[in-house]
Amino acid sequence: MRLPIVCIIGRPNVGKSTLFNRLVGRRLAVVDPTPGVTRDRLYAETECDGRRFALVDTGGLVMQSDDEMQREIASQAQIAIEEADAVIFLVDGKVGIHQDDEAIARMLLRSGKPAILAVNKIDGPKQDADIYDFSRLGPLEPLGISALHGRAAGDLLERLVAILPPEEPAEEPEEIESIALAIVGRPNVGKSSLVNRLLGEERMIVSARAGTTRDSVDSVLEYEGVRFTLIDTAGLRRASRVHQSLEFYTTLRSVKAVQRADVVCVLIDASQQLGTQDLKIAEAAALAGKALFFVINKWDLIEKDESTAGQYVHDLRIRARSFAWAPVVFISVLTGQRAVKILDMAREVLAENRKRIPTAELNETVLNDMRDKPPPAVQGKHIKINYITQTEATPPTFIVFCNHPKLIGESYQRFVVNRIRERYGFTGAPIRLWWRSKSPRD
Ligand code: GDP
Ligand code: GDP
């Protein structure tokens, strides 16, 4: 199911990232991937009153060149509004209305997108009256909040849930015979070329469905009995008027493609290295529970000896420490070298992401590993592990029951995830691990 996408937009420094972190709330219990690649996270899934949605902080995305800053702000806000299902428009209650706020408000009104106008930095009741001036921005009723102190965060979420579009029904029953594959990556890495190459392969039965969704251009092909829907995030941009903010646009669009995908492949140009935006998209994919792998394209451009590929992977692993579990494929779309390998890999990682290990087996293997190397006692409290079970697949989700779940440290969590991977692979699958005590009080 595709979650509705909520974008937080507004001028720089109004508090978008602060609000994002506030709404995402308590640290995510996901240990794998280890956070830390991006301090300014772009994407998180969260929930209020049983409605789940994906929150995107466009503050973490801003990449402006100084001379064009003004234009960039407007163009990025425009992109975010177009891509969002609902918008939180944030303004600064301390500064008052700024001309960029007016520009954004006009775009928002024109777009007809459901939106909330939140006036930030209303830190106490003394500032409450400061919000009324913002009524001038249009028909939206201003809501005073303090992202920093959490004031009115609950009201904001309530209003947000009320304007979210109705839940989309699950698209189709999960068949292993069909795989939605999102091909993401920075501009010019070869996404469109790859899709065209795959569609041109003789082995493929192609039924192109160009433009069937508003989101991106999908192509459907059949390969060795599996129906692949290729979600090409580059496809539409040529028709689009967006030029300066291309990277911003590509990233936001990728987040959306990730939502619709079963498998995400991050395409990288071999003559470059993995970039911050690539990492953010990979992180979004992992957090959304999608199978993931990296593809190094344009391998023909690289002068190679027998250690070149190994060295490239080594460097990639250092840049993307949290994604050691995602496999790497080298291809050249230009020469056609191994392009089809991408489809094989997509099938492999999806199977891993859907794999289930019976509890009895886990308790003979991973539980024993934990008993051999128990977590250290904390504050004199001895931690006793009871059992481990896989509660879900897609993504593989494990729960360890023990007497003091809150005392388990990060390094021990990593140890357990590593043991699971060493024993069962789960290559390309973003494993989730939770700790619970059996007592209903917890
Ligand atoms: P962004 O550029 O819109 O993402 O803004 P940031 O989240 O980075 O915040 C910009 C500055 O405003 C930071 O110094 C924050 O600490 C501050 N800030 C954010 N929210 C509040 C708030 O509710 N009250 C006050 N007083 N300051 C805030
Ligand atoms: P997109 O923006 O990611 O869709 O990238 P394109 O598919 O438009 O490709 C960008 C450029 O890279 C084009 O000029 C392609 O011909 C070129 N290109 C794509 N794949 C390869 C490759 O494997 N090797 C080389 N040398 N060039 C490639």
Q: State if residue 254 touches ligand 2 by the CB under 6 angstroms criterion.
A: no
Q: How far is the CA of 24 from the centre of ligand 1 (A)?
A: 16
Which of 55, 148, 156 should be mutated for ligand 1, with most atoms under 8 A from CB?
148
Q: Whose CA is nearest to atom 12 of ligand 1?
A: 15
Q: What is the pLDDT of residues 96-111, one digit of tens each?
A: 999 889 989 999 999 9
Distance (Å, whole) CA 298 – CA 333: 7
**Would you write out the chain's pLDDT as a tens digit for each of its 442 residues?**
578 889 999 988 899 888 988 888 744 433 333 333 334 567 788 888 888 888 888 765 544 445 455 566 777 788 888 889 999 999 999 999 998 899 899 999 999 999 999 999 999 999 999 999 999 998 999 999 999 999 999 999 999 999 998 876 655 545 457 899 999 988 889 988 898 888 877 655 555 444 444 445 678 888 888 999 998 665 444 444 555 567 777 778 888 889 889 999 999 999 998 888 899 899 999 999 999 999 999 999 999 888 898 999 999 999 998 999 999 999 999 988 888 899 999 999 999 999 999 998 998 899 999 999 999 888 888 888 988 999 999 999 999 989 888 899 889 999 999 999 999 999 999 999 999 887 554 4
φ, ψ (nearest 5 deg) of residue 21: -65, -35
Q: State if residue 301 touches ligand 2 by the CB under 6 angstroms criterion.
A: yes
Q: How does 316-337 read in b/e, with b if 16+ C-beta sit within 10 Å?
A: beeebebbebbbbbbbbbeeee
Q: Residue 433 belongs to what H/E stretch?
A: strand 432-436
Closest CA to 421 of 160, 335, 429, 115: 429
Q: State if residue 337 touches ligand 2 by the CB under 6 angstroms criterion.
A: no
Which of 219, 304, 332, 333 should be mutated for ligand 2, with most atoms under 8 A from CB?
333
**How many Cα atoms occupy the beta-carbon half-sphere of 5 within 13 Å?**
25
Helices 341-353 & 191-200, crossing angle to 10 degrees? 100
Instruction: Using alpha carbons, list the distances in angstroms from residue 43 to 39, 65, 139.
Output: 12, 23, 28
Q: How far is the CA of 58 from the centre of ligand 1 (A)?
A: 14
Pocket of ligand 1 (CB under 6 A): 10, 12-18, 59, 120-121, 123, 146-148
Q: State if residue 190 touches ligand 2 by the CB under 6 angstroms criterion.
A: yes
Distance (Å, whole) CA 137 – CA 139: 7
Q: What pLDDT score does 101 carry?
A: 92
Beta strands in 3-152 (DSSP E): 5-9, 43-48, 51-57, 86-92, 115-120, 143-144
Task: Work out which ligand 1 atom sits closest to the CA atom of 145.
Answer: 23
Task: Work out which ligand 1 atom sits closest to the CA atom of 120.
Answer: 23
Q: How far is the CA of 198 from the centre of ligand 2 (A)?
A: 14
